[in-house]
Amino acid sequence: YFLHIVDQAIVSLNTRFQQYEGYEKIFGFLFTSDRLRSLDDKSLLAACVNLEGALKSGENKDIDGLELCCELLFLQDSLQKSMGPLDVLNFLKKRSLIYPNAVIAYIILLTIPVTVASAERSFSKLKLLKSYLRSTMSQERLNGLATIALENDILEKINYEDLIEDFISRNTRRMLLFGRK
């Protein structure tokens, strides 16, 4: 069971870092004010157009990449100290009429979840399953219960009537007991 949990944690961490890398490619230039100030005009324009494409759905778009680039060029001069995205957003909210696209970009940046919590769920499920009362449980049963607890969404899709029919049909006495022929 321990190896199953460790494997689940490794897969979750790999997924987390892949999600973070994708998130960083789209929003990375907005993470800190220092990073924003370090960009030249050409790379800032490319990052803004990339962000516009990521936030576009058909003909609808949340921001205009060219306008965002112009706003961020002015913003680069306004930001004096090292600031995180929340600090930049608070700075921008006071000037939302001047930087409307930047406000939207920072709000989206701060509302997208980056992490996955399946590794943490795996370890907390172990505590629930392996209690003092179940300390003599076999490894196979513990693995089965952990899989059921972790993969609950798959479990909800199972048709129980088919499983019951299959279970009954495997034994003649059960078939007679439940009235099946």
What DSSP string describes the chain? Answer: -HHHHHHHHHHHHHHHHHHHHHHHHHHGGGS-HHHHHT--HHHHHHHHHHHHHHTEETTEESS-HHHHHHHHHHHHHH--S---HHHHHHHHHTTTTT-HHHHHHHHHHHHS-----HHHHHHHHHHHHS-GGGTT--HHHHHHHHHHHHTHHHHTTS-HHHHHHHHHHT-HHHHHHTT--
79-106 pLDDT per residue, tens: 878 888 888 888 888 887 888 888 988 8
Report in angstroms the alpha-carbon separations of 98 from 29, 131, 145.
20, 58, 56
How does residue 42 score in pLDDT terms, banded at 50, 70 and 90? very high
Look at residues 77, 94, 111 and tell me which one is the last residue of a structural domain. 111
For residue 113 the two structure tokens come to: 């979840």
Q: Could you tell me if residue 22 is inside a domain? A: no
Do residues 126 and 102 both lie within one domain?
no
What is the share, in percent, of the chain residues with pLDDT greater than 70?
Answer: 80
Report whether pLDDT(132) > 70. Answer: no
Q: Could you tell me if residue 47 is inside a domain? A: yes
Report whether pLDDT(174) > 80. Answer: no
> How buried is residue 102: exposed, middle or buried, by Cβ count under 10 Å (0-12/13-18/19+)?
buried
Q: Could you tell me if residue 3 is inside a domain? A: no
> Mean of the per-residue pLDDT values for the chain?
79
pTM of the model: 0.56
Query: Which of 174, 22, 47 is closest to 105 using CA atoms?
Result: 47
Domain that holds residue 87: 31-111
Look at residues 111, 143, 166 and tell me which one is the last residue of a structural domain. 111
> pLDDT: is 110 or 115 the higher one?
110
Q: Which of 76-80, 96-100, 110-114, 125-129 has the lowest mean pLDDT?
A: 125-129
Do residues 89 and 57 both lie within one domain?
yes
Do residues 35 and 77 both lie within one domain?
yes
Do residues 106 and 126 both lie within one domain?
no
> What is the total count of domains within the chain?
2
Do residues 105 and 127 both lie within one domain?
no
Do residues 101 and 36 both lie within one domain?
yes
